[in-house]
Amino acid sequence: MRASYRDTLDKKKSRAVVRKGNPEHQVLIVDSEGEKVKVKTVVNAGTDFKELNNELTKLKDTGERYKLFFDQSTNTGYSIFQGKELRVVGRFGIGKGGGLELYKNKLQQLVNNYMEQLDIEEVWYEEVYDKKNMRTTEVLMYIKHLFKDINYANKVKGKDIGVYGVDHTKWKSILSDRGIKGDQNDKEQVRKYVFEILDIPDSMGELINEDMSDALGMGLARSIKSSDKSFYMMARFESKLPIHESVIISEDINFKTVKMRKPFREARELGIIVYESEEGKLPIKPHELARRVLSHTDRLVAIEVPRNYREYGVLLLLNNIKYEDFKDEEDKMYMIFARKRRL
């Protein structure tokens, strides 16, 4: 029996079967007032969002925008907060016989669907870190680019949606006030903190698995534990971001009338974020705080330098500032920062 190369190619094509297992998807629509949470509806959504979207239209509209949090893996947990109130918690699994490509595609459809249905202002995903299981790391890296693609597409369309990566140790530290212990199961500890903060009934707790409780923990760390200025402390940032820096003396915290060089004036026109010292202390060094902010937004960052700051005198000398320059008791010294390249 003779066989041609065409027969060989046909046989190879017949083996190249696309895996069609559908992802598993369960959603809990909740009623939330402050810390009290109760299940409103359980939706077995699959990849058909009709029933889910019907429920989303019934969500309480307070005018506040939504924040979406993903603890992604082959079993992805996610949560949606509106302001400080929980609205949705769900889990999206790869399912039996499902392929990674199909799973990523359907997960991207899910994210896009939420952005179409709700006024989303922030999307958070857990960053990839080295694990002993190389397969898990590969899956996480593969899914991470989904969020990178979404971030790029939003910028191209001019949409005001922030997409942020967060290290697992960082959000857990914020959630627990640095109470997570390294010698214990971190998922169990996260679950404990989540159930302490949220008043979750037993009937709902039975439906929440570890991936979902991690997504809730991320949401609580951002929505309840962090303010609208301090949340930049939670996001991963470019530690070597090129920035302009200068020092000014002012009592005008709006800095509208302060003379500045061109790079700072251009950044000021895009907006200003001011960080005042708390009880004469800074949470982190000014340069790190500035890079944490400017990695994600393009504005002028002004950070008050308290007089007990250990490099206060050095800053005065390097910038040729004399005590006579403090004309008023209300005058303060600020370090100002701007990006060297526009976002």
Contact (Cβ atoms closer than 8 angstroms) between residue 83 and residue 118: no
Which residue would you say has higher pLDDT here, 336 or 160?
336
pLDDT of residue 95 exceeding 70, the answer is: yes
Instruction: Specify the pTM.
Output: 0.86
User: What sign does the CA torsion over 104, 109, 114, 120 have?
Assistant: positive
pLDDT of residue 171 exceeding 90, the answer is: yes
User: What sign does the CA torsion over 308, 311, 312, 314 have?
Assistant: positive
Weakest-pLDDT range from 60-74, 92-106, 165-179, 282-296 = 92-106
- List, for residues 267-285, the tens digit of each pLDDT value: 999 999 999 988 888 889 9
Distance of CA 121 to the CA centre of its chain: 10
Domains along the chain with CATH numbers = 24-233 (3.30.420.10), 243-339 (no CATH)
pLDDT of residue 7 exceeding 60, the answer is: no
Indicate the pLDDT class of residue 14, thresholds 50, 70 and 90: very low
Q: E strands of 34-151, at which residues?
A: 36-44, 66-71, 75-82, 85-93, 120-126
How many angstroms separate the CA atoms of 92 and 76, rounded?
5
Mean of pLDDT values over 71-93: 91
Q: Cβ contacts of residue 216 below 8 Å, gap of 6+?
A: 69, 77, 79, 86, 89, 194, 198, 208
- List, for residues 187-239, the tens digit of each pLDDT value: 899 999 999 999 888 888 999 999 999 999 999 999 999 988 889 999 999 99
Indicate the pLDDT class of residue 23, thresholds 50, 70 and 90: confident
pLDDT of residue 253 exceeding 60, the answer is: yes
